[in-house]
Amino acid sequence: MPSLPVTTGLGFKPEHFRDIAAAPGAVGFYEVHAENFMGDGGAPHAMLAHLHAGHALSIHGVGLSIGGAGPLDADHLARLRRLIDRHRPESFSEHLAWSSHGAAWLNDLLPLPYTTGTLATVCAHVDAVQQALGLRMLLENPATYVTFAASTWAETDFLAEVVRRTGCGLLLDVNNVFVSATNHRFDPRAYLAAFPLEAVGEIHLAGHDTEELPSGPLLIDSHGRAVADPVWSLYAEVLSRIGPRPTLIEWDSDVPPFAVLRAEADRARALLETRGRADAA
Amino acid sequence: MPPDSAHAATQAGFHAALWRPDPPQGLTAPAPDEVSRRFAVYRNNVHHSLSRALAAHFPVVAALVGPAFLTAMARVFIAEAPPASPVLQDWGAAFPGFLDRFPPVAHLPWLGDVARLEWARGRAVHAADAPAASADLLGVPDPEVLRLRLHASVALYRSDHPAVSIWRAHQPGAARGPLPPGPEHALVGRQPDFTVVVAPVDVGTHAVLSALARGETLARAAEHADPTIALTLLLRHGLITAPLTGDTP
């Protein structure tokens, strides 16, 4: 599979289709949630084909439940295969999370304990995905609000081991790092120092909301506002360490006009072009 | 590989707690007494995101009952008929029937039919593509053998209630007048420009269209009513994908 261009991308919102058509090359790639493009036909596929004619395409799944104990949903894997065969994206990514239980789909990315058992399960699932889809996938680090008493692995070690065993790449969501670090009161820089950055094939940046708990802030991974300043700082530091990587701005709720998204992408591009290339060698 | 039974149990507890007031066992946080507030983020995400998805599939139903009621009603529906797959556009087929028998909306007997119309529109949005046939292909063949292949998005809709008028009154810019008595009928289909049309039709035209959609010959369909309006509508909206003159549909 070809790879994403080392530049900026935006999450595609159908309401921005005309703006995007009027501004070709505003960013280098667009990313879509796979599950929104699993109908037989109609405008969604036509828009996707049009987007892909002028830009690289990243398909980002939210439905595989890679972190679930049960087997992968074979029907869903087949749907993904059809989508990937139809649109031939430059990248496919999914989450270290679970999102279905029994017959019910819960529509949220739910956390898992990091144990030797879940590690084996996640690796088996990543292997199965890569085999079924015929590609090297990227696995995204989660934003979490709770941790599990049963966990025996650090998240960074867990991810590194998944990479080592499966050969998958990682999607580093810097906002998720900041959200989890704040929520669990650890240092995001220590997390990034332990993160297997050499496996990062894409970076996500997004905005978060803030609630106040008696013990301090609880950040919510809302994707509903601009990227926060501390996240920009962490992003610049990552670029300084590993050089430029394809970088996506995610904004999924209270979606602003296209110009606002484009300005966020331009801010990321400025960092990609300065911090990324000048500092890394 | 044997299933990870410890993790399966963790998931079962986590899932059960999404529908209960207390968090599951086994969770930790820097301040342990805050686990409940933290777990509530997941509970809210699940309920609110599914409720928003339901409102997006059924926007007129949502407008008719209001956002607060829709959210509360969605919670009951989600517990009864949660999505069966991650493809949310496929979720909601059971919602019209749920509305038919949900006691708090018994005073809105047409609400389920409004939902059926919105469901048909949603199906049409995602139906398979097929180019429209040109009108002159229909000119020559014998109506005794002519059958039409209609676009996959086509649905024939009928309500005992004025559900089509209610739905139309809630479209942007629509004028609201007195409602006619039911029943009402409509043709639903996706045009070549991807817009979905809801065309009200009389009962006879509905019968003609239904016969054509079943694959009957034009001559058989015309036994129900003059087929001129039906054919005009299908052609105007680009909903005939092929004329067929063979013996089987």
Q: For position B136, what pLDDT does the model report?
A: 74
Q: Strand, coil or helix: what is A196?
A: coil
Point out the residue among A40, A101, A117 whose CB comes nearest to the CB of B11: A101
Say how many residues make up chain B. Answer: 249
According to CATH, the topology of domain A8-279 is: TIM Barrel (3.20.20)
The domains of chain B are located at 1-108, 132-249
Cα separation, A137 vs A155, whole angstroms: 18
Q: Which residues of A touch B23 (CB under 8 A)?
A: 146
Answer yes or no: do B86 and A121 touch at CB < 8 A. no
How far, CA to CA in Å, does B42 sit from each of A71, A143, B7, B17, B23?
A: 23, 11, 18, 10, 10
List the one residue out of A145, A173, A179 whose CA is nearest residue A159.
Answer: A173
Cα separation, A59 vs A129, whole angstroms: 14
Point out the residue among B1, B91, B126 whose CB comes nearest to the CB of A42: B126
Q: Which residues of A touch B10 (CB under 8 A)?
A: 69, 112-113, 148, 150
Angle CA B45–A137–A75, to nearest 5? 65
Q: For position A276, what pLDDT does the model report?
A: 65
Confidence tier at B48 by pLDDT (50, 70, 90): very high
> How much is the ipTM here?
0.95
Mean pLDDT by 10 residues, chain A (281 residues): 91 97 94 98 97 97 97 97 98 98 93 98 98 98 98 98 98 98 98 98 98 97 97 97 97 96 97 73 42
Q: For position B178, what pLDDT does the model report?
A: 87
Q: Are A202 and A4 in contact (CB under 8 A)?
A: yes
**Any idea what DSSP says for residue B104?**
G
Q: For position A86, what pLDDT does the model report?
A: 98
Cα separation, B91 vs B85, whole angstroms: 8
Cα separation, A3 vs A144, whole angstroms: 28
Q: Which residues of A touch B190 (CB under 8 A)?
A: 42
Point out the residue among A69, A105, A146 whose CB comes nearest to the CB of B11: A69
Residue A243 distance to chain B (closest CA, Å): 34
Answer yes or no: do A213 and B34 touch at CB < 8 A. yes
Exposed/middle/buried for B9, CB within 10 Å: 0-12, 13-18, 19+? middle
Cα separation, B222 vs B225, whole angstroms: 5
Chain mean pLDDT for chain B: 94
How far, CA to CA in Å, does B183 sit from each of B158, B161, B187?
A: 7, 5, 14
Strand bridging mode A138-140 / A91-95: parallel
- The pLDDT tens digits of the residues spanning B196-209 come to 999 999 999 999 99
Strand bridging mode A56-60 / A91-95: parallel
> Taking 50 as the threshold, does the pLDDT of residue B249 lie above it?
no
**pTM score of the predicted model:** 0.95
> Taking 80 as the threshold, does the pLDDT of residue B138 lie above it?
no
First to last CA, chain B: 48
Answer yes or no: do A103 and B31 touch at CB < 8 A. no
Nearest CA in chain B to A103: B84
Answer yes or no: do A104 and B83 touch at CB < 8 A. yes
Question: The tokens 């679970």 sit on which residue?
Answer: A98
Q: Strand, coil or helix: what is B192?
A: coil
Orientation of helix B203-213 relative to helix B228-236, angle to 10°: 70
Nearest CA in chain A to B153: A42
Tally of CB atoms within 10 A around A119: 20
Mean pLDDT of B219-227: 97
Interface of B with A in 193-222 (CB under 8 A): 194
For residue A8, what are the β-bridge partners?
A247
> Taking 80 as the threshold, does the pLDDT of residue B243 lie above it?
no
> Taking 60 as the threshold, does the pLDDT of residue B1 lie above it?
no
First to last CA, chain A: 26
Q: For position A1, what pLDDT does the model report?
A: 64
Number of alpha carbons in the 13 Å side-chain half-sphere of residue B202:
9
B7/A contact by beta carbon, under 8 A = yes
- The pLDDT tens digits of the residues spanning B151-197 come to 999 999 999 999 999 999 999 988 888 888 989 999 999 999 999 99
Q: For position B162, what pLDDT does the model report?
A: 97
